[in-house]
Amino acid sequence: ANVINDCKAALAAQTSMPTSIFVAARTCSPELTVVNGNISKNDSDNYQSRATLNCSTGYETNGLAWSDCLATGNWSVSTLQCSDIDECAQNSNLCNNGRCNNMPGSYMCNCSLGYGGQKCGTNVDECSSNPCGPNANCTDGIASFSCDCETGYAYLGKGYPNNCTDVDTCITNRLCENGGTCQNIADGLNCTCHHNFTGDTCANLSSICVRDNPCRN
């Protein structure tokens, strides 16, 4: 009877001992799906490893930013995804002088007339192409320019090869006096005087005899 009791006691002691469960190392598959980014792992694809999501420039995390390799051989999250950042919505003044258009991972500014640069902050120099031509000084404006002609030249308007053209002073002023012949030149005029007259405009008598008529009788 004692032998039987000892056997029962030994069996009871065995069944009451804690049981260890061995979990074999597993590799998670298939590979994670990653959208608009990449992942970094602390232990390859093995059980209990963690894959952390790193978003590409212009994107941000959408939902969980990591996934764990489970004992079942599956990832806790099968897809890690980054969403596009709407830079235009985040900053209404992103394009200084233009309209902001959101792009995948970026943005683009459509500049107002007269402005350029990535953020439309640069005034386009309309004078850089020398629109006034020679004989003029160009003043740049916002989406415009103005021509200040040099002396002896007049502004014809935009669209002419040379916006400032030589003024025929002989026609406009008629400055040659006493029958002098006028010749238009680049910066004014030249008068060719008849005999007995002299000066820039032929206004002066060249001979004292003609001027004062001192000889009498």
Q: 151-204 pLDDT, tens per residue?
A: 778 777 665 556 777 777 777 666 788 888 888 776 667 888 888 888 888 888
Does the pLDDT of residue 145 top 80, yes or no? yes
Nearest to 27 by CA among 79, 67, 73, 76: 73
pLDDT value, residue 22: 44
Alpha-carbon distance of 169 to 188, in angstroms, equals 6
pLDDT value, residue 185: 75
Q: 20-43 pLDDT, tens per residue?
A: 444 455 789 888 999 999 999 887
DSSP output for 87-151: HHHH-TTSSTTEEEEEETTEEEEEEPTTEESTTS-EE--GGGG-TT-SSEEEEE-SS-EEEEEPT
Nearest to 181 by CA among 163, 195, 167: 195
pLDDT value, residue 20: 43
What's the angle, vertex CA 145, arms to CA 141 and CA 149, rounded to 5? 130
pLDDT value, residue 54: 96
- In the DSSP assignment, the letter for residue 170 is H
Peptide bond into 30 cis (omega under 30): yes
What are the residues whose beta carbons fall under 8 Å from the beta carbon of 213, sequence distance 6 or more? Answer: none
DSSP output for 24-40: ---B--SPPEEESEEEE
pLDDT value, residue 31: 86
Alpha-carbon distance of 107 to 60, in angstroms, equals 15
